């Protein structure tokens, strides 16, 4: 198991850990601040710092093969740390923080466009949600204006845990049809933006929606019968 430090504190930029396993340039640690690809949010990049000071680049982070593990993918040809070694961790914070702001912005936008969400993706420079809705109902100015108005409320985000049974009793919480929340662990993590949004999400978010600053709609496009895509970026 890898302890997921970003779950309790998404603002950790560095930490220490111990190497549990190394296989073909993939490192497993006992704890990590690196978010693994999932829920439309890409995996973190950064460095593993060896006890001799050598900085080894992590080019991608994925869910590991073992249950509850995280796979840190090293740059091709990099020297791997050794099993048992105490290492330092450092994520590319500018990239991650942009992802956190855009990710949280999508939560807010999903409360402005009232329609089932059929997909979504986040990159450091832009993010998108796909909706099952008549494209004529999607107006760029109204979406940006409505989202930015909610952002000015500057409310703190909260993490809430509920049981599988509680989620079953409230199916309306699951807005994203393409990404069902992970089951079986007995409890499910929700992101709550008070009076705005509440939905299952395992990603990393900003502590206060004011940190998003504001968004702009880059484009609205037809990507299929049930996929009307709204692409956004951070403003300024």
Q: Contact residues for Zn ion (CB under 5 A)?
A: 191, 201, 203
**Residue 59, φ and ψ in degrees, nearest 5:** -95, -15
Q: Which is nearer to Zn ion, 50 or 175 (CB)?
A: 175
Chain centroid to CA 115: 21
User: Which burial class, exposed, middle or buried, applies to 38 when counting CB atoms under 10 A from its CB (0-12, 13-18, 19+)?
Assistant: middle
In angstroms, give the least distance from the CB of 144 to Zn ion.
20
Where would I find the H helices in the chain?
A: 5-8, 93-109, 140-151, 164-169
Q: Which is nearer to Zn ion, 57 or 234 (CB)?
A: 234
Q: Which is nearer to Zn ion, 56 or 117 (CB)?
A: 117
Pairing of strands 187-193, 158-163: antiparallel
Token pair of 166 as six digits:
């509680």
Output the DSSP codes for 16-55.
EEEEEEEETTEEEESEE-PPPSBTTBPPP-EEEE-TTS-E
Token pair of 95 as six digits:
């990239």
If DSSP codes are grouped into helix, strand and coil, which group holds residue 151?
A: helix
Q: Which is nearer to Zn ion, 92 or 197 (CB)?
A: 197
In angstroms, give the least distance from the CB of 182 to Zn ion.
13
Token pair of 28 as six digits:
């497993």
In angstroms, give the least distance from the CB of 204 to Zn ion.
8
Whole-angstrom Cα distance, residue 132 to residue 228?
6
- With CB atoms as reference, the residue minimizing the distance to Zn ion is 201
Q: Which is nearer to Zn ion, 31 or 189 (CB)?
A: 189
Q: Which is nearer to Zn ion, 37 or 49 (CB)?
A: 37
Whole-angstrom Cα distance, residue 151 to residue 221?
24
In angstroms, give the least distance from the CB of 154 to Zn ion.
18
In angstroms, give the least distance from the CB of 59 to Zn ion.
24
- Closest of 140, 189, 160, 35 to residue 98, by C-alpha: 35
In angstroms, give the least distance from the CB of 95 to Zn ion.
17
């Amino acid at each position: 198991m890898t302890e997921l430090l970003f779950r309790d504190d998404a603002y950790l930029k560095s930490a220490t850990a111990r190497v549990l396993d190394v296989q073909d340039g993939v490192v497993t640690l006992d704890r990590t601040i690196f978010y693994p690809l999932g829920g439309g949010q890409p995996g973190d990049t950064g460095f593993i710092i060896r006890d001799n000071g050598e900085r080894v680049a992590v080019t991608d982070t994925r869910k590991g093969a073992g249950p509850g593990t995280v796979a840190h993918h090293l740059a091709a040809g990099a020297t791997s740390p050794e099993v048992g070694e105490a290492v330092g961790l450092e994520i590319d914070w500018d990239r991650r923080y942009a992802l956190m702001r855009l990710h949280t912005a999508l939560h807010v936008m999903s409360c402005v466009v009232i329609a089932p969400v059929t997909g979504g993706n986040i990159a450091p420079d832009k993010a998108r949600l796909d909706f099952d809705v008549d494209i004529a109902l999607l107006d760029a100015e109204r979406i940006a204006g409505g989202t930015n108005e909610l952002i000015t409320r500057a409310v703190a985000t909260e993490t809430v845990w509920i049981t599988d049974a509680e989620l079953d009793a409230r199916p309306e919480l699951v807005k994203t049809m393409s990404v069902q929340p992970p089951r079986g662990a007995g409890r499910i993590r929700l992101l709550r933006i008070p009076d705005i949004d509440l939905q299952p999400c395992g990603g990393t978010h900003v502590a206060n929606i004011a940190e998003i600053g504001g968004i702009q709609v880059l484009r609205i496009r037809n990507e299929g019968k049930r996929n009307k895509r709204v692409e956004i970026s951070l403003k300024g």
